[in-house]
Amino acid sequence: MRLGRIVAGVGLPFLMATSVLAQELTVVEFARRAENEERFLLRIEGAAEGLQVANIQMEREGKTKLYCTSGSLLLTSDQLRVILVRYAEKNPVKGTWPAGMYGVALLDALAEVFPCP
């Protein structure tokens, strides 16, 4: 599966938090802390960049993208954080996942906010 290789090669380091602190938090706590702690915000941004690269590759291969933003929309780090917080609050099971799963939750959130036709 090509997507698996893309995510593993490009985005996996950003999709999984590795610090002990991040492992003690939930996804929603992680996303909330990103409002005031840059280290968390940078991880969310990094995960989004990895997902964007995977999306570009999927499109190049003629496959369905992971999520579909309109035109040349560029999301700011804070917009990504808000999307993740709202998604985690709206989906409490995923919001209580260990923070190391924030990248997977971000992918789910982006797919929900920006579905592909």
pLDDT in tens, 64-117: 999 999 878 889 999 999 999 999 999 999 999 999 999 999 999 999 999 998
Q: Which of 89, 57, 87, 55 is nearest to 73 (CA)?
A: 55
> What pLDDT sits at residue 117?
87
Q: What local confidence, expressed as pLDDT, does residue 23 receive?
A: 59
Four-CA torsion 94, 98, 104, 107, nearest 10 degrees:
60
Its domain, for residue 45, covers 2-113
> Each residue of 7-37: pLDDT tens digit?
444 454 444 445 555 558 999 999 999 999 9
- Number of independent structural domains in the chain: 1
CB contact at 8 A, 47 and 104: no
Q: What is the pTM of this model?
A: 0.81
